[in-house]
Amino acid sequence: MGDEDFPRDDSEPPERDPNTPDMFGGAPVAGQPSSGAALSEASAAYTVIARKYRPRAFEDLYGQEAMVRTLRNAFSSGRIAHAFMLTGVRGVGKTTTARLLARALNYETDTVHEPSLDLKVEGVHCRSIIEGRHLDVLELDAASRTGVGDIRELLEGVRYAPVEARYKVYIIDEVHMLSTGAFNALLKTLEEPPPHAKFIFATTEIRKVPVTILSRTQRFDLRRVEPDVLVKNLEMICENEGARVEAEGLMLIARAAEGSVRDGQSMLDQAIVQADPGVTVTAASIRDMLGLADRAQTIGLFEQVMRGQAGEAITTFRQLYGYGANPDQVVMDLLDHCHGASVAKAIGPAALVMPKEQGLRLAAVGAAVSAGTLSRIWQLTLKAYDEVRRAPDAAAAVDMALIRLAYAADLPGPEEALKRLQDGAPVGGGGSVSGGPPSPAGPATARQAGLGVSAVARQTMPAPNAAPATEPAANLQTFEDLVALIDRRRDIRLKLDVERFIRPIKFRPGAIEYEPAPGAPADLAQRLVGRLKEWTGERWFLTTQGGGGAESAWERQKREEREVRVQVEQDPFVRSVMDAFPGAEIVSVRSLAKAAEPMAESVAPVEEDDDED
């Protein structure tokens, strides 16, 4: 029997039965695809948030109300330019606006036959323009086609009328990347375009576009989107997607986006998967995702730097570094806080886009230091940021920067240094940094300061019972200790104002958080900060809150007096006396023990007369 007597099956058996969910041939579950197929199908169908929520109408553009208003007025009056230049940072909507303009120029429905910015109802040409297949809307990416030949090829059909739509629209993205020859080829057509052609340019580098092109276009600068506006967009997306993200986390994303809607949406896309479905994404997980430090802790770090506490600042930074914060991001936060303190000093804490408590802390720093000091810290921090980015050990560079900043924060300005030299007082700063008292100023110090004066430190002998020149802030552990210090220094006016108008909320050495009572003097915080700096030798930060403060000392005293008076008025003996003498009233209430002490001292005891009659 030969081989030809057996039938041959040349078909190869399949490696795996598609109807079985596992490789061992188990029965498939009826009505359910395999988990791998379902996951693959879901991944293929998923559209990222930045594309899914791309604006489909001008009303959906966030933060560009000025541009939309100008375009709406131009379209309604028929004064439509032949060329538009859209500029702005990445992700603010330049390309999206260009496509919306192409739809608006060619908008047409059964009832509308003219350009219109009202795109809520989809027009005849809208779908094909959105999908990028309309014959009369040509889009060129200048980043990949920069030559003069590409522009000539694009402009060959300018003189021909549109095939379907009202206008031929040419969209050139990243127009600044065109070559000089390409700009020259575009110039003549842009100067005298046919009536049926419109040009829309988009660029992130407006300075690289020749002025000859700019002068022939209508320019729109798309603004950075403010964090609070971007947060509303992110909240809307979270609601539609069924995702739960903490409000603080959304604010972190909005600030990290730096005005870019697309960047913010991309970060939100990444943040949503930081937790399981149905679980709230915490701000801590978003902070870890972005490599950010806790903003409240970096504000505390900034306060330590401004107090000249280098050791505490380094300890705080190392804690943040251990939690995963990037060193350059920490320095960037210090820059942001320095800017915030300066703005709060000039305008007020309401100008800061951040939680109220953090804004008040930065405002307290701005109130405690001069504008010159903040400017000096800003310059030094800018230099430190560049050093941290280039240093082989970024963490070590931050340590050195914090030491330098803490020392500089405590240095006097030129005018103050000159006054100290003339008075014979020490001019050195950074006493808290070095850990020891500053050296007295002498002729060498004056020459090093470049002040051009010769001053000799005068040693003054303190009076026998004089109060110490400074008292460490660490000795003031409670608000009552602070009031006692003011009393020892005999500043009666400040003591009365502090007792009457300060409702303490939180007290720690170097920082006071309080609620001002009604009628508080406008300069109370400034006077108290100045006196504490003079008496303790350290910088104090005073933060005001709108509520939540305890009673002031004066309010507590008045309340206790009222309680004692009510208690006296309800005493049975006092009530009987008041009933026995109609019209009598209680003028004041005094403690018998306190009232009897001076009387016992002043009245001599009566001696008995031992003389017998």
Report the helix count and the strand count for the chain, using DSSP H and E.
Answer: 27, 8
Let me know whether 307 and 240 are in one domain.
Answer: no
The pLDDT of residue 439: 39
Q: Are residues 171 and 258 in the same domain?
A: no
558 contact partners, CB below 8 Å, separation of at least 6: none
Q: What is the pLDDT of residues 15-25, one digit of tens each?
A: 445 554 444 44
Lowest mean pLDDT among 132-141, 170-179, 576-585: 576-585
Please state, rounded to an integer, the average pLDDT across all residues of the chain. Answer: 77
Among 353, 382, 409, identify where a domain stops. 409
Q: Interhelix angle for 524-536 vs 492-501, to 10°? A: 120
Q: pLDDT band at 521, cuts 50/70/90?
A: confident
- Do residues 231 and 173 both lie within one domain? no
467, 473, 528, 529 from 535: Cα distances, Å: 10, 9, 10, 10
pLDDT-derived band of residue 385, with 50, 70 and 90 as boundaries? Answer: very high
Residues 6+ away with beta carbon under 8 Å from 528:
494, 498, 540, 542
The confidence band for 425, taking pLDDT boundaries of 50, 70 and 90, is low
Q: What is the pLDDT of residue 572?
A: 81
Give how far Cα 170 sits from Cα of 83, 137, 337, Å: 9, 6, 45
Angle between helices 356-368 and 524-536 (to 10 degrees): 60
Q: Which of 193-197, 304-308, 427-431, 500-504 has the lowest mean pLDDT?
A: 427-431
Q: How confident is the model at residue 145 (pLDDT cuts 50, 70, 90)?
A: confident
Distance CA 374, CA 360 (A): 16
| Residues 233, 217 share a domain | no
CATH number for the domain that contains residue 346: 1.20.272.10
Closest CA to 285 of 248, 317, 254: 248
Inter-axis angle of helices 247-257 and 283-290, nearest 10 = 20
d(CA 544, CA 121): 52
Same domain membership, residue 278 and residue 263? yes
CA distances from residue 120 to 2, 123, 132, 254, 519 in whole angstroms, order as listed:
79, 9, 19, 28, 54
Residue 530: what pLDDT?
Answer: 78
Same structural domain for residues 57 and 81? yes
Is residue 447 domain-resident? no
Residue 502 lies inside a defined structural domain of this protein: yes
* Total structural domains within the chain: 4
pLDDT: which is higher, 41 or 159:
159
Rounded average pLDDT over 447-475: 45
pLDDT digits (tens, 9 = 90+) for 246-270: 888 898 888 888 888 898 999 999 8
- pLDDT score recorded for residue 522: 75
Q: pLDDT value at position 399?
A: 93
Same domain, 196 and 259: no
Percent of the chain with pLDDT over 70: 77
Quick one: which H or E segment has residue 171? Answer: strand 168-173
pLDDT of 575 reads 75
Structure tokens at 225: 């989107």
Is residue 510 in some structural domain?
yes
Based on the domain organization, do 124 and 247 belong to the same domain?
Answer: no
- pLDDT bin (cut points 50, 70, 90) of residue 529 is confident
Residues 6+ apart with CB under 8 A from 170: 138, 140, 154, 155, 158, 197, 198, 199, 200
Between 196-205, 368-377, 444-453, the lowest mean confidence (pLDDT) is in 444-453
Comparing 98-107, 364-373, 519-528, 585-594, which segment has the lowest mean pLDDT?
A: 585-594
Calculate Rg over the CA atoms of the chain. 38
Checking if the pLDDT of 80 tops 70, the result is yes
* Residue at 305 is within a domain: yes
Q: Tell which residue, 302, 222, 299, has the closest CA to residue 55.
A: 222
Q: What's the one-letter identity of residue 162?
A: P
Closest listed residue to residue 89, CA positions, set 243, 204, 214:
204
Highest mean pLDDT among 219-228, 455-464, 507-516: 219-228
Q: What is the pLDDT of residues 171-219, one digit of tens each?
A: 999 899 988 888 888 888 888 888 899 999 999 889 999 999 999 999 9
Dihedral over Cα of 70, 76, 77, 78: its sign: positive
Average pLDDT over residues 477-494: 79
SS (H, E, C) 556-572: HHHHHHHHHHHHHHCCH
Whether 428 maps to a domain, the answer reads no
N- to C-terminal Cα separation, the chain: 172
CATH number of the domain where residue 102 is located: 3.40.50.300
Q: How confident is the model at residue 372 (pLDDT cuts 50, 70, 90)?
A: confident
pLDDT for 448 equals 38
Domain of 252, CATH number, reads: 1.10.8.60
pLDDT range class, residue 90, cuts 50, 70, 90: confident
CA 135, 139, 145, 150 torsion-angle sign: positive
Q: What number of CA atoms fall less than 13 Å from residue 92's CA on the CB side?
A: 23
Rounded to an integer, the average pLDDT of 429-439 is: 40
Sheet holding 502-508, edge to edge: 502-508, 511-516, 541-544
- The CA–CA distances, whole Å, from 448 to 379, 525, 598 equal 21, 35, 62
Q: Do β-strands 137-141 and 502-508 pair in parallel, antiparallel, or remain unpaired?
A: unpaired
Q: How far are the Cα atoms of 243, 380, 562 from residue 345, in angstroms, in the given order?
A: 39, 19, 41
Higher pLDDT, 468 or 95: 95
What is the band of 148 on the pLDDT scale with cuts at 50, 70, 90? confident
One domain for residues 216 and 238: no
Q: Which residue segment(s) compose the domain that 231 sits in?
A: 227-290
Query: Which of the residue ranges 72-86, 364-378, 547-561, 584-598 would you say has the lowest mean pLDDT?
Result: 584-598
Say whether 84 sits in a helix, a strand or coil.
strand
Domain annotation covers residue 590? no
Flag whether pLDDT at 442 surpasses 60.
Answer: no
Kindly indicate the confidence band of residue 474, based on its pLDDT and cuts at 50, 70 and 90: low
Residue at a domain's end among 221, 241, 270: 221
Instruction: Examine residue 44 and state whether it is found in any structural domain, yes or no.
Output: no
> What's the Cα-to-Cα distance from 35 to each of 19, 22, 29, 32, 313, rounded to whole Å?
13, 10, 11, 9, 52
With beta carbons less than 8 A apart as the criterion, state whether 482 and 509 touch: no
Three-state SS letters, 213-225 = HHCCCEEEECCCC
Is the pLDDT at 433 greater than 50? The verdict is: no
The yes-or-no verdict on residue 476 having pLDDT over 80 is no
Which pLDDT value is given to residue 334?
A: 92
One domain, residues 147 and 274: no
DSSP track, 517-580: PTT--TTHHHHHHHHHHHHHSS--EEEE-SS-----HHHHHHHHHHHHHHHHHT-HHHHHHHHH
Write the secondary structure of 432-468 as one string of H (helix), E (strand) and C (coil). HHHCCCCCCCCHHHHHHHCCCCCCCCCCCCCCCCCCC
Place of tokens 């496509």: 99
Chain position carrying tokens 């052609």: 197
Q: Which residues contact 318 (CB under 8 A, 6 or more apart)?
A: 395
Q: Are residues 154 and 186 in contact, defined by beta-carbon separation less than 8 angstroms?
A: no
Amino acid at 258: E
Q: Band of the pLDDT at 403, cuts 50, 70, 90?
A: very high
pTM above 0.75, yes or no: no
Q: Are residues 203 and 81 in the same domain?
A: yes
Q: Per this entry, what is the length of the chain?
A: 613
pLDDT at 85: 93
Task: Looking at the structure, tell me whether residues 139 and 186 fall in a common domain.
Answer: yes
Q: Which tens digit of pLDDT belongs to each residue from 315-360?
A: 999 988 887 788 988 999 899 999 988 988 888 777 776 767 778 8
What is the pLDDT confidence band of residue 412, given thresholds at 50, 70 and 90?
A: low
Residue 521's domain is classified under what CATH number? 3.30.300
Cα–Cα dist 248/225, whole Å: 18
Choose the weakest-confidence range: 39-43, 95-99, 164-168, 499-503.
39-43
Q: Is residue 414 part of a domain?
A: no
**pLDDT of 464:** 41
Among residues 269, 290, 311, which one ends one of the domains? 290
Q: Is the dihedral of CA 17, 18, 22, 27 positive or negative?
A: negative
Question: What's the pLDDT at 510?
Answer: 75
